[in-house]
Amino acid sequence: MPNISRDEVAHLAKLARLAVTEEELDVFAGQLDQILDSVAKVSEIAGEDVPPTSHAVPLTNVFREDTVRPGLTQQQALAGAPASEEGRFRVPRILGEEQ
């Protein structure tokens, strides 16, 4: 039984704003199904006695110390902006399309 349907792939493509053909929907559904099966197999293997890890080798803190340094003023930050409005960067609207 497939884990993901063509309709779900079409919905994901729409959310990602990807234009896909009918043939691609079939291909992507099969590929995503294989990915989900692989993830399920890994989930079966990882038991409660296996601690979760984020790295294969132990790491120490590799980040620098967080020190306070002077930053830009609002006027300095906006000085190089192509457009500003009410003390903020002015950018073109990209949202607002009907869903």
DSSP for the chain reads --SS-HHHHHHHHHHTT----HHHHHHHHHHHHHHHHHHHHHHHH--TTS---S-SS-----SPP--------HHHHHHT-S-EETTEE----------
Per-residue pLDDT for 99 more than 60?
Answer: no
Per-residue pLDDT for 64 more than 80?
Answer: yes
DSSP for 78-94 reads HHT-S-EETTEE-----
Residues 19, 22, 25, 26, Cα dihedral to 10°: -160
Closest CA to 72 of 64, 80, 61: 80
Instruction: Tell me which of 62 and 83 has the higher pLDDT.
Output: 83
Give tens-digit pLDDT for 1-56.
457 888 999 999 999 999 999 999 999 999 999 998 888 888 777 677 777 777 78
Per-residue pLDDT for 94 more than 90?
Answer: no
